[in-house]
Amino acid sequence: MAQTPTLSSESAAPPGSGAIRFNGVRVGFTRQTGQHVRALEDFSLDIPAGQFVSIVGPSGCGKSTLLKVLSGLVEAEAGTALVDGHTAQDSRERIGFMFQRDTLLPWASVEDNIRIGADLSGQAPANMQRRIAELIAFLRLTGFEKSKPHELSGGMRQRVSLGRLLAYDPDILLMDEPFGALDSQTKAAMGQELLRIWAHHRRTVIFVTHDIEEAVTLSDRVVVLSPRPGRIRLDLSIDLPRPRSAAQLRKDARYIDYIDRIWSQIETVS
């Protein structure tokens, strides 16, 4: 049987690093019409270092805004969003963002797209080349190093995006519906890929999704938001053993119960 490729452990985050604290965050936007929209109001959430948290909630409730505040792309009107006590300005290079839409450079090869992440991380060139090769093997992209994005399937493109994020090697992974556009089989496979990486690196992950099964399968914790301005409706610890397999989970009464509890909150708010 083929051996599962592994990653070198040198980049594992020091213990206790990557804790996130949202405290009383308020964000508003003024639309072109002049109308003011409040996306978040008095939002507070503590995420310990290394936790995998999914955020679910109705469209427009402020999920992407939350990630943007933490990464400094959007400014809070009030409150703070801190990483290990530091503002986004001071921790920008510790945060990696993966968007739902494909942000690969169309003219660059798989290898070069992943190299962008490594370049940003400022690694020494010798380490960088080794790291890129390792990631390509780990993400099962061997043989496609020189391929351009248009020559890849949707799932492969998302694996390249994930490779770029991991080459950057942030302490915090912010993932905004990263697998939302994929078919359910590919999505499940990508989820398993992500868990394999997470088990190895234990980075803090905030994962936004509309897929409740995906949220429960992946996460230590699922946070359900109300409609805009997003407030926490349910903060649920997912106490299921790891590693998790979809086939096992489907038969687990606790898994089914978690999904029911989340659905009941979503149904009452939408």
Ligand X SMILES: Nc1ncnc2c1ncn2[C@@H]1O[C@H](COP(=O)(O)OP(=O)(O)OP(=O)(O)O)[C@@H](O)[C@H]1O
Is residue 209 close enough to count as binding Mg ion by CB under 5 A?
A: no
Q: Which of 6, 12, 16, 29 binds ligand X (CB under 6 A)?
A: 29
Closer residue to ligand X, CB minimum distance, 61 or 160: 61
- Taking each helix axis from N to C end, the angle separating 154-168 and 110-121, rounded to the nearest 10 degrees, works out to 20
Binding part of the chain for ligand X, among 6-14, 57-65, 131-139, 194-202 by CB under 6 A, reads 57-65
Q: Which of 7, 20, 25, 39 binds ligand X (CB under 6 A)?
A: 39
Residue 65 binds: one of Mg ion, ligand X, none (C-beta under 5 to 8 A by kind): ligand X
- Least Å distance between CB 39 and ligand X? 4
| Binding to ligand X in span 211-230, by CB under 6 A | 228
Is residue 64 close enough to count as binding Mg ion by CB under 5 A?
A: yes
- Least Å distance between CB 38 and ligand X? 8
DSSP string across 204-256: EEEEE-S-HHHHHHH-SEEEEEPSSSB-EEEEEE----SS--HHHHHT-HHHH
By the 8 A CB rule, do 95 and 87 touch?
no
Residues 6+ apart with CB under 8 A from 212: 56, 222, 259, 262, 263, 266
Is residue 233 close enough to count as binding ligand X by CB under 6 A?
A: no
CA distances from 194 to 38, 75, 78, 92, 138 (A): 33, 29, 33, 22, 11
Closer residue to ligand X, CB minimum distance, 68 or 115: 68
- Interface ranges with Mg ion (CB under 5 A): 64
